[in-house]
Amino acid sequence: MKYTTLPNTDIKVSKICLGTMTWGNQNTEAEGHQQMDYALENGVNFFDTAELYSIPATSETYGATEKIIGTWFKKTRNREKVVLASKIAGSGDYTAHIRKDGFSKRAITEAVEGSLKRLQTDYIDLYQLHWPERGANCFGVRDYPFQYATKEAENHLEILETLNGFVKEGKIKQIGLSNETPWGTMKYLQEATIHDLPRMITIQNSYSLIHRAYEYGMSEVSLRENIGLLVYSPLAFGVLSGKYIGGKKPSDARVTLFPAYNRYSTAESEKAVIEYQKIAQKHGLTLTELSLAFVNQLPFVTSNIIGATKMSQLKENIGSININLSEDILKEIEGVHKVIPNPAP
């Protein structure tokens, strides 16, 4: 395993982070425990979850993933060996079953205390805002939704002040963002500097060979402001494993089970995936290995969040850390990217 530190801290984290959002729906508690055992044994010390998991978000599965992690902590007593990240759910119809007051002080308090109880821990190492309260181009929205986004209030200072209260109590060690934009990220940094409040140190956004929009503005923010990217969906919901090519629909695959998760399944995406698969085969790699190794080597990435429903997938994903892509391979990847740039929104 390779390691780095969370930006502006001495917290050592693995470059591969264990994603957990299928536990409690596609995966059982026993399978979740097995994945955590294997990950930790193979050097992965960074786990990411969220209060709304498992996915898709429903009232029946709310908090299920955190509970599975909590029972593993209780059984193994491995809490101190893990850097744990979780998130408060953003607002909107998708999470109306959780709460309806966004990132208010009351909402953050409820969310933090609930997660701590389910996780059976006294603290969370990295606490993140799952998505902005305002309208923003994320979750497959390419263009800025200016028609309604500009009407929303800014409450960055209140959020930072509330989170700071939990930092002072020791219930949160560090704070971060998710699904944010350059403006939103810089706004939080500005408020933190002006008011001497905790600084957002990471941002968890989607990034993959077929979705590199992070490079439009956020990559520069990451590098210049030392905000580490925690990559989610590096395999684009499995699209970059190649298993959906040619209209295939594996019965137990995520996009087959949950058709609404189709943001990466465009016709142009398949064209790009086929080209990337050719590169992988040419160099004796699987498409999965190529896709993850590409993300692992990016200078603005702190950790690559992998998720698996099968142990064979987990082993391949974690093993990608040992693959180094040559300059020739990287040039071939850029050649495809120039012809078919960001085919998935």
Whole-Å CA distances, 117 to 111, 121, 208: 10, 7, 34
Catalytic entry in 38, 53, 62, 261 = 53
Q: Which residue has the tokens 């219930």?
A: 171
Report how far residue 109's alpha carbon sits from residue 242's, in angstroms, rounded to the nearest whole number.
42
DSSP SS3 for 205:
strand
Q: Which segments of 77-217 does DSSP mark as H helices, in order?
A: 105-119, 146-149, 156-169, 182-195
Q: For residue 38, indicate whether it is catalytic.
A: no
Q: Which of 235, 236, 244, 306 is nearest to 274 (CA)?
A: 244
DSSP letters for 222-283: HHHHT-EEEEE-TTTTTGGGTTTGGG---TTSHHHH-TT--TT--HHHHHHHHHHHHHHHHT
Collapsing DSSP to helix, strand or coil, 66 comes out as helix
Residue 109 to residues 60, 127, 162, Cα–Cα distance (Å): 22, 12, 8
Active site residues: 53
